[in-house]
Structure 1
Amino acid sequence: MTDPRRFVYDAAVRWSDLDAYGHVNNARFLTLYEEARVAMFFTAARAEGFTSFEEGIVIARHEIDYLRPVDYGEPVRVEMWVSELRAASFAVSYELFDNDVLASRAKSICVPYHLAKGHPRRLTPQEREFLAPFVAS
């Protein structure tokens, strides 16, 4: 298996992310992963000259493994790549590191969606080209 190029995003841990025990709440991990996805599909894609992901992507499924608690403090690093690419969906896999220690792994099934028309759509050739360097083969 070839290692894909990873998209890397540093996410701030906010006071509001914490639970009663002083750790990042389990649901907030999904928010941190979402921030990384938005940075990739909006900011990075726009920097490469296209905005079609901004027309809509919906999440069909999330899977998450919590490996260790994350405390308030330094930003966490989210590394993500495309672990599966299909005609009308793709899977994004993530690893979240706290002080360079793996704290969580996750996977999201993303479906391109035409928000204005209210239905899923296929990936465009340009979107596939953008995703290609991040695909694990």
Structure 2
Amino acid sequence: MRHIYRCPLRWADMDAYGHVNNVVFLRYLEEARIDFLFRPDKDFKQGSVVARHEIDYKRQLVHRHAPVDIELWVTEIRAASFTITYEVKDDDVVYVRASTVIVPFDFEQQRPRRLVPEEKEFLREYTDEVSAGDPDDEEAVAA
């Protein structure tokens, strides 16, 4: 299953040529990720931090008043990280494909932590493709 976030375009998002500035796409991905992880029905209650972004710019997005859709899904779940993949698009036009590696984080102890079972269960609902996983992951070893 995929999560869809309708992202509004703002006047300040564009560059001097009327295109959405490429660094603005990071903010769009962040908005979609927050909408996905921190919802009233399924709150990803523990903390997390971004470890890595990869972005492929496919087409220029010209500023307009209509929002774009950001589809996101989980492509990898490991013991202490997971990967979210995104497409920023409208209709059949893809402007950006991206992925973000997220590490669960304990802010009280200021260190990374493992995903708890409830988080893994939530993430699996949005998984299109799960990797073999971390060899230290008990579920991967048991499989």
Give distance in 2, aligned partners of 1:85 and 1:35. 21
* 2:60 maps to 1:66: no
2:106 to 114, 119, 123: 114
Runs of 5+ unmatched residues, structure 2? 130-143
Seen in structure 2, the aligned counterparts of structure 1 residues 100 and 13 have a Cα distance that, compared at 3 Å, is farther
Which structure shows the higher helix fraction?
Answer: 1
How far does residue 71 in structure 1 lie from its aligned partner after superposition?
Answer: 1.4
Matches within 5 A, 1:43-82: 43=39, 46-48=40-42, 50-53=43-46, 56-73=47-64, 74-82=66-74
Matches within 5 A, 1:95-106: 95-106=87-98
Equivalent pair of 2:56/2:98 in contact (CA under 8 Å): yes
Q: CA RMSD in A?
A: 1.2
Equivalent pair of 1:91/1:110 in contact (CA under 8 Å): yes
Question: TM-score, normalised on structure 2?
Answer: 0.85
State the structure with bigger RCO (CA 8 A, min sep 6), 1 or 2. 1
Runs of 5+ unmatched residues, structure 1? none
* 2:37 maps to 1:41: yes
From the CA coordinates, give the structure whose radius of gyration is larger: 2
How far does residue 51 in structure 1 lie from its aligned partner after superposition?
Answer: 4.6
* 2:16 maps to 1:29: no
Give distance in 1, aligned partners of 2:108 and 2:77. 24
Give distance in 2, aligned partners of 1:57 and 1:15. 30
Alignment-derived partner of residue 4 in structure 2: 8
How far does residue 98 in structure 1 lie from its aligned partner after superposition?
Answer: 3.3
**Poorly superposed stretches of 4+, deviation over 3 Å:** none
Give distance in 2, aligned partners of 1:7 and 1:18. 25
The total of aligned residue pairs comes to 128
Question: TM-score, normalised on structure 1?
Answer: 0.88
